[in-house]
Amino acid sequence: SAQLKPPSLICLFNFVGPFSPFMYYSPYIHMYAIVWDDVRTTHIASEVANGNVNRLRDKTGLPLASYFAGTKVKWLLDNIPELRQDLHDDLNRSSVRFGTIDTWLVYQLTGAKSPHDGAENLGGLCLTDVSNASRWLFLDLRAATWDQSLVDTVCAPHQLPLSALPIIRPSSNIYAVLSNKCGIPAFEKVPLASVLGDQQAALFGQACFRPGEAKNTYGTGMFLMMNTGEKMVPSNHGLLTTIGYQIGEDGELVYALEGSVSHSGSTVQWLRDQLGIISTASETETLATESNDGLYFVPAFAGLFAPHWRFDARACIVGMTASHHKGHICRAALEASAYQTREVFDAIYADSDVELLQLKVDGGATANSLLMQFQADMINVEVIRPVVMETTSIGAAFAAGLAVGVWSSTDEIKKLWAVAQVYSPNMEEEQRNRNWQGWQKAIEKSMGWVDDDGHVDCGEAQQSPDVESDLTQKVTEVEEA
């Protein structure tokens, strides 16, 4: 609209997983982006791990899992012949680029319109920030540089040069001053001043600038992250050691511990779209029963992420009797997010010896008061919801503002953060323990459902060839979907 004012600066945040390859000076994209929870790369993670999911953890801070971008690179190299051909070609090799969505957006914003009709912008900057780079399986976390030995380990037998990876920059920094060549006249002379992974942006937006401060984001998945300062804390309890952010070229790297859970809000979406027992997410709160009455729902649709990292797990509902109804399933689906948060909450304490005295929360599910109260009850500390709920967006904006001088320090930003609501625990310890014991039993029941070939393990049960073939086909269709 002509009435809209041009932006004063541009900041980017993105899911750290979605991934795409492209050619630097060509309108050609090898394929669409692969999303972070795509299970087609599970077997790649398993093959690289070779029985030890922590094989690369000392350098990368990460377990070997399909969640991370490196497995997507390997899948693309395995499955896109044209990509392999370009990498083997002396003329085209230097133009091949891989990147998460932040890299693609920066490339588009800093590039110029292509002469090809309908093609993307060409010739822009190919970069990412330290927070996104730390989730590839290719980054030496201490040096904050790409490591060829890690690339070779994950991508073998393919050879991928480091030149195909984006340049790594700080999270808060003026990367470029844009021009109207990108095709958007309003962007003329506008600085591009921050790039952050989504969870790191939320950490920034929740003003968790001091070691020991933490936030939990309830989105499609769920992500509890704690600032550990300039200290890189190794995890022995299934968490991710990651880079939180870096402010400016001369700024110190700020590290974090994170527990990533694959399904939270998407569990409620499943109730709506697949089971059809609700029509809106908010209905879960009104339909949910006072108690789960012994019914538990483990939403391991893509396996279990932190702190278990068990990709042989699958979703299950256990403890069901004839008296249970959809209200109990709604209750159990909400409770699952709180139980999974408790697992990560406990793992953070075990790894860091830091006892979290409160938990800042954000994301769509924080509008559900039943969930927030149950969350406070299960972790037995206060749960705090901020005034500004879009913490990921405002975190990226804060980082950009620091880069261009809107604020001079994180202390100024911290004063802008404000509390909207506090949920205090009020559950009896006996009930809390009973709930927790039930969840732990349910988790055990979810494991061991998928064999090494990615098919459901039916144990020693005998099946006719037709039934087995039909089952394999159905499992394949579900995983591809």
CB-CB contact of 278 with 167 (8 Å): no
The model's pLDDT over 7-38, given as tens digits with 9 standing for 90+, comes to 777 777 766 655 566 665 555 666 667 887 78
The model's pLDDT over 263-320, given as tens digits with 9 standing for 90+, comes to 998 999 999 999 999 999 999 999 999 999 999 999 999 899 999 999 899 999 999 9
The answer for 294, left when phi > 0, alpha when psi is -120 to 50, beta otherwise, is: left
Helix residue ranges per DSSP H, 114-263: 130-133, 148-155, 198-205
Q: Is 151 exposed, middle or buried (0-12, 13-18, 19+ CB in 10 A)?
A: buried
CB-CB contact of 151 with 136 (8 Å): no
What is residue 385's three-state secondary structure? strand
* CA-only gyration radius of the chain, Å: 23
The model's pLDDT over 68-109, given as tens digits with 9 standing for 90+, comes to 999 999 999 999 898 899 899 988 888 888 888 899 899 999
Distance of alpha carbon 53 from the chain centroid: 18
Report the alpha-carbon distance of residue 311 to residue 303 in Å, rounded. 4
Q: Which secondary structure element, helix H or strand E, spans residue 47, and what is its range?
A: helix 42-49
The answer for 160, left when phi > 0, alpha when psi is -120 to 50, beta otherwise, is: beta
- Among candidate residues 396, 11, 351, 59, the one with its CA nearest the CA of residue 200: 396
The model's pLDDT over 339-393, given as tens digits with 9 standing for 90+, comes to 999 999 999 999 999 889 899 999 999 999 999 999 999 999 999 999 998 899 9
Q: Which of 35-49, 225-239, 387-401 has the lowest average pLDDT?
A: 35-49
Residues paired with residue 217 on neighbouring β-strands, in sequence order? 223, 362
Question: What tokens appear for 366 in the block?
Answer: 């924080």
The dihedrals phi and psi of 115, each to the nearest 5 degrees, come to -70, -10
Cα 7 to Cα 142, 185, 187, 416, 432: the distances in Å are 36, 11, 7, 21, 49
Report the alpha-carbon distance of residue 437 to residue 124 in Å, rounded. 54
The model's pLDDT over 148-184, given as tens digits with 9 standing for 90+, comes to 999 999 999 999 999 999 999 999 999 999 998 988 8
Q: In whole numbers, what is the pLDDT of the chain averaged over residues?
A: 89
> Given the structure tokens 């098919």, which residue do they identify?
455
- CB within 8 Å of 480: residues ≥ 6 apart: 40
Report how many helices (DSSP H) and strands (DSSP E) the chain contains, helices first: 16, 18
